Amino acid sequence: MPERRNRMYFFYKHDDELMKRVQPLVNLAKEYGFVVVDDHTKANVIVSIGDDGSFLQAVRQTGFRDDCLYAGISTLSSRGFYCDFQIEDTEHMVQAASSEQIEVRRYPIIEVTIDNAASFFCLNECSIRSGIIKTFVMDVFIDDLHFETFRGDGMIVATPTGSTAYNKSVNGAVVDPLLPCIQVSELASLNNNRYRTLGSSFILSGKRKLTLKISPEGNHYPLIGMDNEALSIRHIEKIDIALSNRVIKTVRLKDNSFWEKVKRTFL
Q: Which is nearer to ligand NAP, 92 or 168 (CB)?
A: 168
Among 45, 46, 165, 241, binds ligand NAP (CB under 6 A): 165
Among 27, 41, 169, 205, binds ligand NAP (CB under 6 A): 169
Among 45, 52, 70, 93, binds ligand NAP (CB under 6 A): 52
Q: Which is nearer to ligand NAP, 156 or 242 (CB)?
A: 156
Q: Who contacts 13 (Cβ-Cβ below 8 Å, separation ≥6)?
A: 50, 54
Question: Exposure of 230 by Cβ count < 10 A (0-12 exposed, 13-18 middle, 19+ buried)?
Answer: exposed
Question: Is there a contact between 176 and 258 (Cβ–Cβ < 8 Å)?
Answer: yes
Binding residues among 220-249 for ligand NAP as defined by CB under 6 A = 227-228
H-type helices in the chain, by residue range? 16-31, 52-61, 90-98, 166-169, 258-266
Question: Is there a contact between 236 and 134 (Cβ–Cβ < 8 Å)?
Answer: no
108 sits near ligand NAP (criterion: CB under 6 A): no
Q: Which is nearer to ligand NAP, 7 or 154 (CB)?
A: 154
Question: Is there a contact between 80 and 72 (Cβ–Cβ < 8 Å)?
Answer: yes
Nearest distance, CB of residue 51 and ligand NAP, angstroms: 3
Q: Is 80 annotated as a binding residue?
A: no
Judged by DSSP in three states, 176 sits in coil
Return contacts of 90-97, CB within 8 angstroms, 24+ apart. Answer: 90/24, 90/25, 90/28, 92/253, 93/25, 93/28, 94/28, 94/32, 95/253, 96/71, 96/251, 96/253, 97/28, 97/29, 97/32, 97/34
Distance CA(253)–CA(95), nearest Å, equals 9
Q: Is 153 annotated as a binding residue?
A: yes
Among 34, 81, 107, 221, binds ligand NAP (CB under 6 A): 81
Nearest distance, CB of residue 228 and ligand NAP, angstroms: 3
Among 34, 166, 221, 258, binds ligand NAP (CB under 6 A): 166
Distance CA(218)–CA(121), nearest Å, equals 29
**Catalytic, out of 52, 66, 139, 227:** 52
Distance CA(186)–CA(172), nearest Å, equals 9
In sequence order, what DSSP letters do the residues of 200-249 get, joined into one string?
S-EEEETT-EEEEEE--GGG---EEEETTEE-------EEEEEEEEEEEE
Q: Is-catalytic flag, 52?
A: yes
- From 8-16, 28-36, 90-98, 165-173, span contacting ligand NAP (CB under 6 A): 165-173
Residue 103 is given by DSSP the state -
Q: Is 151 annotated as a binding residue?
A: yes
Q: Is 263 annotated as a binding residue?
A: no
Among 53, 131, 180, 206, binds ligand NAP (CB under 6 A): 53
Binding partner of residue 164 among Mn ion, ligand NAP, none, CB under 5 to 8 Å per kind? Answer: ligand NAP
Nearest distance, CB of residue 187 and ligand NAP, angstroms: 9
Q: Mark the binding-site residues for NAD(+), compressed into ranges.
A: 52-53, 124-125, 151, 153, 164-169, 188
Catalytic residue numbers, as ranges: 52
Chain contacts with ligand NAP (rule: CB under 6 A): 51-53, 56, 80-81, 124-125, 161-162, 164-166, 169, 227-228
Chain contacts with Mn ion (rule: CB under 5 A): 51, 53
